Amino acid sequence: MSFLGIDLGTGSLKVAIVDENGREQAVASVAYAIETPHAGWAETSVQTWWRALCEAAARLPDGLRREVRAIGFSGQMHGVVLIDEAGEAVRPAMLWPDTRALALLDAWPEPQPNPVAPGMAGPLLRWIVLHEPQSASRTRWALQPKDWLRVALGGAVVTDPSDACATALADPAGMWDAALLDRLGIPRAWFAPLAPSYAAGGVLSEKAAQALGLRPGIVLATGAADTPCAALGSGLAHDGDALLTTGTGGQIVVLAECAPAAARGLHRYRAASDHWYRMAAMQNVGIALERVRGWLSYEWADAYRDAFGDAAGASTTAASGLTFLPYLTGERTPWLNPMARGGWLGLALDHTRGTMMRAAFEGVAFSLRAGLDAIRASGATVTALKLAGGGSIDAHWRQLLADALNVELHAVDCPNAAPRGAAILGGLASGHWHARDLAALAPGATRVAGPRGDAALAERYARFLDLYGRVETWFDGTHSR
C-alpha cells in the first residue's frame, strides 16, 4: 500500500510516492516555463500542467503506481484557474507573480487580515471582471491550481481553507466573504464549497487513471496549498513547531493551535491540519545570492570559500563597515514594500570580491532575521527552526543563519516536503492515517548549527536595519527603474 502526492508548483510539477509508514519510495519532477504574453503577466496553460503530470507519473515505477491507494494534492498559492460548465479552462491560469492587477489593490484598504498582493486570486479576478468580460461570462468556477488538478482527475469541485484564506476574498478562517465579493462585482457562484484538506474529494476517473498508470476509483484528497503541505511533510505537528525554507525566496512558518493575532507584514493562514500558521515571507534569498554571484563572476564553491574562509563562520573577509541590502525584487515581510531595492554601502579600497560576497550572505541572513523578528514580535517564541530548501546545504551558510537568527537549526531529512505532505493528506483521506498519527510521521531532523552569541554580527544587523530605515523613502517608482 502506498500514497501519491502531487505538488503543482510555479515552475515544475513534482510527484512522490510514500509507503504506509510515510517513507518516500519514488519521486519525479517535470519543469515548465511561466508564460509572459504581456509585461507583468504570469500565466501557464493548464495543458502544460497536464502534460507535466503525465510525464512525471510515467517516470515512477509501474509496480509502485499499481500500489497507490489514494492521491493528495499540493499547489502553488494565490493564483487562479477559470473553468466553464464543462470543466474546460476559459483562459490560461494566472499565477502569483502576476502584477497586472497592481492598480486595483485600493479595493482592499488597510487594515487587512493578511497582506494583499496583485497576484492573489482576488485582485486577478477583479481584473478579469473589468478587462475580460468575455472570460467572465464563460466562467463557472474560479479554482485554485491544485483544485483544478483534482477536478481534472475526476474529483469534486471543492477547496480547502488553506488555499481559500490566501485569495484575499475570504476571512482568515477561509470562509468566503460574500459582502466583499458583492462589493468587487465578483460572482459568488464562482467559488467552490469548503472541505478540510484531509477530507476525501472524489475518486480518480477511469480516463485519468489510464493516463497516469494508476488504479481507477482511488480516493482523491481535497489537498492544501504548498506551504502548509511542506510544513506537514516536514513534520510540523504541534503548537510552536517552526520551519525555515530557503530557495528563491524564504519562508518562516510557525504552527499555532489557534488563530494568531493579525500583525503587519505577516500572513496568518490555515494549515493543512486543523491548526493555523504564522508566516514571514521574504522574497530575496537565493535569487539575490545568485545574482550577486553572477555579478562577482564566482563559481559557487569559490564564493563560499572567499566569503567564509576555511572554518564555519571563521571568515577572514567579514570586514566591518560594509552592508548589503538584498531587496532586488522589493520585499514582503516585514516591510511590505514592493519598491524596495538593494545594493552595497560602505565599500572601501581594501574590500575584495570575497568581502562583497560575505556581505551579501549576511544581508540575506539579516533579511530573514527581520522576518523572524516580526514573528517574535507577534507573540511567538522561536528558539529552534527546522531547515529545508536547496539553498541551505553549505555548513558555513547554516552557521551564519543560526548566528544571525539566534536559533538552533535542525536540517530535515525530507528533500521533497510538499509532495510528501500531499501524500500524507491522501493517506488521511483514505482512512489509513489519522490526525493523532501526524507527529509520529515526522521525518528525522539533525541539529546542524546553533547560535554562538556573535556580538559583532549583532552590531552589523543593527546597522542593516538602520540603513534600510534611512533609504526606504528613496525607493519610489522613479528610482526603481
How far is it, in rounded angstroms, from Cα 19 to Cα 4?
9
Q: Is 67 within 8 Å of 97 (Cβ atoms)? A: no
Q: Is the Cα dihedral 269, 366, 357, 449 positive or negative?
A: negative
Work out the number of other CB atoms within 10 angstroms of the CB of residue 47.
Answer: 10
Work out the number of other CB atoms within 10 angstroms of the CB of residue 259.
Answer: 14
Name residue 207's amino acid: K
For residue 170, the cross-strand partners are 176
Q: Which residues of the chain fall short of a pLDDT of 50?
A: 311-316, 478-481
Q: Is 445 within 8 Å of 413 (Cβ atoms)? A: yes
What are the angstrom distances between the C-alpha of 98 and each of 80, 268, 338?
A: 11, 22, 13
DSSP string, 2-14: EEEEEEE-SSEEE
Q: Would you state the pLDDT for residue 477? A: 53
Q: Does domain 236-413+451-481 correspond to CATH entry 3.30.420.40?
A: yes
Q: Is 242 within 8 Å of 384 (Cβ atoms)? A: yes
Phi-psi region of 248 (alpha: psi -120 to 50; beta: other; left: phi over 0): alpha
DSSP string, 224-267: EEHHHHHHHHTT--STT-EEEEESSSEEEEEEESSPPPP-TT-E
pTM of the predicted protein model: 0.88
Residue ranges per structural domain of the chain:
2-226, 236-413+451-481
Q: Would you state the pLDDT for residue 310? A: 59
Domain boundaries 2-226, CATH class: alpha beta
Q: Would you state the pLDDT for residue 382? A: 94
DSSP H or E stretch at residue 353: helix 353-377
How far is it, in rounded angstroms, from Cα 61 to Cα 80?
32
Q: Is 38 within 8 Å of 100 (Cβ atoms)? A: yes
Q: Would you state the pLDDT for residue 392? A: 76
3-class state of residue 308 by DSSP: helix
Q: Which three cell numbers stand for residue 3?
A: 500514497
Name residue 179's amino acid: A
The tally of CA atoms less than 13 A away on the side-chain side of residue 241 is 22
Q: Would you state the pLDDT for residue 415? A: 86
DSSP string, 79-102: -BEEE-TTS-BSSPEE-TT--TTG
Instruction: Tell me if 2-226 shares its fold with 236-413+451-481.
Output: yes
Work out the number of other CB atoms within 10 angstroms of the CB of residue 353.
Answer: 17
Q: Would you state the pLDDT for residue 355? A: 95
Q: Would you state the pLDDT for residue 480? A: 40
